[in-house]
Amino acid sequence: MVSEDTDNQPAVPRKDEPEHAAHLTIGGRLRAYFFTGILVTAPISITIYIGWMFIDMVDRQITPLIPAPWNPKQWGVPGTGLLLAVLVLTLIGALAAGMIGRVWLRFTEAVMVRTPVLRSIYSAVKQIFETFLAQKSQAFREVALIEYPRRGLWSLAFITGPTIPQVNQHVGEELVNLFVPTTPNPTSGFLLFVPRREIKVLDMTVEDGLKLVISTGIVAPTPAAPVNIRPAEQILDLT
């Protein structure tokens, strides 16, 4: 009787086990399909949504300035305001390259520079745009590692150029301007003046560095070769 009960006890779990396993397999597959659908559709949907918001914002600002008979809003075609803004900016750039445009730019710049409050705003904004839009810009030229905010903790930073002589003279050694962005919003951050010897430059593009910051470290670059960390003095030419 004892051996008979022992033989009969495993029969019940063996009988129920295939149905339970099949149930888990189907549920797991459905869950995997669901998350795969999110991974496929979310980046596309969010990109389209942000692009549509930007187009709609520009349309709301531009289309009210167009006279009613030629206003594209009555046609119901989105994006005409953005297209018009691009054409106007391109036309302004073409005119500014000519003789009349250069004279007009000198006149408006002279007015801005002589206005007490506006001159500081104008000069700062102009310098920022010239730095980022100039073809020979050196901004965000390298991705680097520095020990920040304390020893033993490393932060990702972007080299923006050499430090001004006024700062170097007070410190007594060559410093480099570094921008340490915040996560996940890299438009804010900290400007640091770091000795050149303490900077370790990564074999990483600026685009990969920004992806790493925006994704809070989730999206890591996949270099074809192992990443080398080199001292800044070996490869940087900030002169």
Q: How do residues 181-205 score in pLDDT, each as one tens digit?
A: 998 888 889 999 999 899 999 988 8
At 128-148, the pLDDT tens digits run 776 666 544 556 778 999 999
Please report the pLDDT score of residue 159 as a whole number: 92
Please report the pLDDT score of residue 136 as a whole number: 46
Please report the pLDDT score of residue 20 as a whole number: 45
Please report the pLDDT score of residue 223 as a whole number: 57
Round the average pLDDT of the chain to a whole number and report it: 77
Enter the pTM of the model: 0.54
What backbone phi and psi angles, to 5 degrees, belong to 125?
-65, -40
- Helices 11-62 and 80-96: crossing angle in degrees, nearest 10, is 50
pLDDT at 22 over 50: no
Length of the chain: 239
Q: What b-and-e string marks burial along 17-53, b requiring 16 or more CB atoms within 10 Å of the CB?
A: eeeeeeeeeeeeeeeeeeeeeeeeeeeeeeeeeeeee
How many Cβ atoms from other residues are within 10 Å of residue 83's Cβ? 15
> How is residue 137 written in tokens?
């810009």
Please report the pLDDT score of residue 82 as a whole number: 78
